Structure 1
């Protein structure tokens, strides 16, 4: 990079996320942007020498060219992780905690630099990127401690001549395929849990955002995490499917964790069945956001801004179907329009004051554009936005459409974009019927000041997570995951360790 950017000039408060940019560290972010992958403790190129371009979605500037690895490179990473597991599994939980703690401290020390990398490769506003760094690092901090609490059990034996003990063991090499929308946090919440349990990792980041993964590898090396324990394999979209197949079918890989689309998750699930691998899937959502007439409308609007427009609507738990009780519908819609026009500032996320960035790539822009058009063609009504932003490029206008029926494309499908889809409802029963009429079951939100209603709706919403009078539910301590076709397993909280351990039953006989 031919320039140095200091984040102190961006210290500000985001009205969307309510967070401030802290002081800049002394190291420039570009020093973490290696144009190499990371295997067995070394920064390496692809064996073929091939690379692929990574561009800033805000302006399409070239950020760099990273190794376009194929299955042969991925196999080297798997072999390295498998060999490293033979010793890493025998380290104590305390020893693992010490290096994970060091990794956390380095991520905190350089969080502003790594946040700028996130902004450059994903397009999200800088305040959001700093928030992601804080969130991502918190998983490393949490699992540095939780690893020391992976305990077994001593159970009461039915025979006086036996003692029965259950101990927990690490599963082995854990493969991880991570998305572009949270290029730091989606890695740390998987890898930190796996490494704390005694597993080793092979990470395949998204082709749009490889630099955040490489930066984490840089800091893992500085933290003293041994060679082969944390590996990063980069590739273009052309090689991603073959690498994914190898990760699912290699006998040296014990488990796979994937965050991404439901369609890809189903394919990986099938492929992992060949080796009966441990699998964790965090897949697509279609989150309902219900506003009852007892709700505090100010809280509900602020909750919607957080749940809908974070990362330009490109989150798996983004509010997708906005259901508003008819009595308060008009007032709520007017407040949402006013708040959007007041708070949303569109532009390059690295610029001061910007709260709303571009979509990640052309494919995503076309998807949002087509969903809105087909929704309007099917009878929905446009209230705001509805087209590409005047800035051009990958920017799309913050949009509101109403009169959405269950068959309306924006209502029936996950949008992954800045589109508010509104529908009136009359009763609690109707709202729940609409909310639950989907195969997705990741997150749901509702706002109500009626305590009895809060308990009823919280229990009846068919989602793995529920935000009650809150649009920001993510935290390292939270148990993150879905039901139905939105996934298997949980990440975060102490339950995140369960994905990377198995129970071994020890029966001691002949004790009389």
Structure 2
């Protein structure tokens, strides 16, 4: 494969769109800057697709789907394993792209990059059983078969915070199911997303099976609608914020296109009075500061029982003092907005249990823990996406459940207790698709599923659950032909 950084006619370094296995370099008037926020410098430029180019990308995927869907499952299986091998050999390159474009730490980016071959292999291993059909019983005595067929060409709208793992999951699952893909790369990390697309093509997936377009924010609605409205598009997967999810959902509804979503959350970590308090404190801090707090699974609320709060608070302070490096926000604007929400909470009466709100760099500020958060501040009900969390004190397990379930989201919650039965019983009452007992809120397994409840989305990801999102069920019923009756009459 050729390098994914090119030059436009003006000599600017650009990451272009990619259609039919070839870069589409547009005039420099379509450029937008991609910044290294931590250093306040322009790294290179992305190129906004025109609506016509976006339509061309989905038309290409739709045309290739006609033949790709008939690719033997075993061939897809081996192609995914080849992609896994390539990704494993390029861990450093993938991590470097993510950390450079998103200002994440190298440790966080390496962890993400090392998950890619695992994701591909898990999906490859699950695909044959997932795609197996059935012969079902009938009430009429006729025969009936159920086939699992690819939905078609799909649009993946992917985020910048899980810049490697999440697009890899979506692309792998769609290709495993026999679908083709248009990846709408994040405007904040197009170089990272390009890395994935070129890797799948290098593995042997046909040109046009994975295309990539991108857009700066102001033109994103028109570019997205050009794809969603196209007759070749069969389904959409979106991972990102709830406000953007609502916009995409509205466009999808307009054209009657199904959509799966993984949205944000204000993930709670519940500390019961029999918990290993030191582990709970350490995990809470790690879950809060990872990627500068910019994870949809990040710990934003702690719910602690009053009987252990004083000891737990001491441990939280100690854990925060030894917090791991967290990198910077992906943009200076995001950092300024998030810090503004922290400052607003303090101005309205919240207090710092630990930490403070001070700048540490152009796009980063100190982590903190708040108590006495007023209900009329933004952070009380909304995802902060920053290295700040707040504590809510309760007396009983029932109060902890009510508090945990009181927000709109339902993506991830954690329960800390030394009594597994107590934790399991509590998990049954928590309105979250993912509940961890004595594990961080951002715990994810490549075997899946990851499922959003309530306003955190719908649909499931990872492993066979991802593949199932990209298949249709087709029933074929057989009526009698009359041949048996004819044969009997001739005897």
Alignment counterpart, residue 468 of structure 1, candidates 437, 442, 446: 437
CA shift for structure 1 position 408: 4.2
Matched, 1:255 2:225: no
Partner of 1:449: 418
TM-score, normalised with respect to structure 1: 0.89
Deviation sequence 1:164-199 (CA, Å, 0-9, x none)? 000010000100101110111110111110010000
8 Å contact kept, 1:47–1:69: no
**Scaled by the length of structure 2, what TM-score is found?**
0.92
How far does the alpha carbon of each residue in 1:60-90 deviate from its partner, in whole angstroms, 9 at most, with x for none? 2222112221211111111110111011001
Mean alpha-carbon deviation: is it higher for 399-408 or for 265-274? Answer: 399-408
Other-structure match for 2:201 = 221
2:351 to 360, 381, 386: 381
- 1:435 maps to which of 389, 393, 404: 404
Aligned 8 A contact 1:136 1:186 in 2: no
Worse overlay, 138-147 or 496-505: 138-147
Between the aligned partners of 1:60 and 1:444, the Cα distance in structure 2 is 35
C-alpha contact 2:332 2:363 (8 A) present in aligned 1: yes
SS of the aligned residue for 2:214 comes to: coil
Say what the alpha-carbon RMSD is for the aligned residues. Answer: 1.8
Provide Cα deviations, 1:94-120, integer angstroms capped at 9, x if missing partner: 111111111111111011111011000
> CA separation in 2, counterparts of 1:59 and 1:50?
24
In structure 2, how many angstroms separate the alpha carbons of the residues matched to 1:137 and 1:43? 25
Provide the C-alpha distance between the structure 2 equivalents of 1:455 and 1:110, rounded to a whole number of angstroms.
Answer: 40
Aligned partner of 2:135 in structure 1 is: 154
- Asked if the contact 2:88–2:116 (Cα under 8 Å) also holds between the matched residues in 1, the reply is no
Question: Which SS does the other structure have where 1:207 is aligned?
Answer: coil
Q: Is this contact kept in 2: 1:137–1:185, CA < 8 A? A: no
Name the CA distance, whole Å, in 2 between partners of 1:368 and 1:257: 27
Pair 290,495 (structure 1): closer, same or farther in 2 beyond 3 Å: same
SS in 2 for 1:460: coil
1:214 CA drift (Å): 0.7
Q: How does 1:259-298 map to 2 (within 5 A)?
A: 259-298=239-278
| Equivalent runs, 1:177-326 vs 2, <5 Å | 177-326=157-306
**1:380–1:408 CA contact under 8 A, matched in 2:** no
| Unmatched segments (≥5 aa) in structure 2 | 7-14, 485-491
Alpha-carbon distance in 1 for matches of 2:24, 2:388? 41
CA distance in 1, matches of 2:323, 2:457: 33
Dislocated runs of 4+, deviation >4 Å: 30-34, 405-408
Name the CA shift for 1:277/1:133 in 2 (closer, same or farther; >3 Å).
same
Partner deviation per Cα, 1:88-147 (whole Å, 9 max, x = no partner): 001011111111111111111011111011000111111110110122332222222222
* Aligned counterpart in structure 1 of residue 472 of structure 2, from 502, 509, 512: 502
**Secondary structure of the corresponding residue to residue 255 of structure 2:** coil
Aligned runs of 1:413-428 on 2, under 5 Å? 413-428=382-397
Judge conservation of contact 2:252–2:259 (CA < 8 Å) in 1: yes
Checking the alignment, whether the CA contact within 8 Å between 1:286 and 1:440 is kept in structure 2 is yes
Deviation for aligned residue 1:368? 1.1
Contact map agreement 1:280 1:487 (CA 8 A) in 2? yes
The answer to whether structure 1 residue 84 and structure 2 residue 84 are counterparts is: no
Give the Cα–Cα distance (whole angstroms) in 2 for the partners of residues 477 and 407 of structure 1. Answer: 40
Deviation, 1:212, is 0.9
Q: Does 1:486 align with 2:456?
A: yes
- In the alignment, structure 1 residue 119 sits paired with structure 2 residue 99: yes
Deviation at 1:379, TM superposition (A): 1.7
Query: 8 Å contact 1:247–1:256 — kept in the other structure?
Result: no
Contact 2:320 2:355 in 1 (8 A): no
CA distance in 1, matches of 2:46, 2:243: 27
Give the structure 1 partner of residue 120 of structure 2.
140
Q: How many residues align?
A: 472
User: Whose strand proportion is higher, 1 or 2?
Assistant: 2
Deviation of 1:238 after TM superposition, in Å, equals: 2.0
In 2, the alpha carbon distance for the partners of 1:148 and 1:231 equals 25
Q: Is the 8 A contact 1:210 1:234 kept in 2?
A: yes
User: Whose radius of gyration is greater, 1 or 2?
Assistant: 2
| More moved, 53-62 vs 40-49 | 40-49
Write out per-residue CA displacement over residues 278-324 of structure 1, whole angstroms, 9 at most, x where no aligned residue.
21111111111111110001221222133212111100011111111
Distance 1:147 1:164, change over 3 A: same
Matched, 1:65 2:34: no
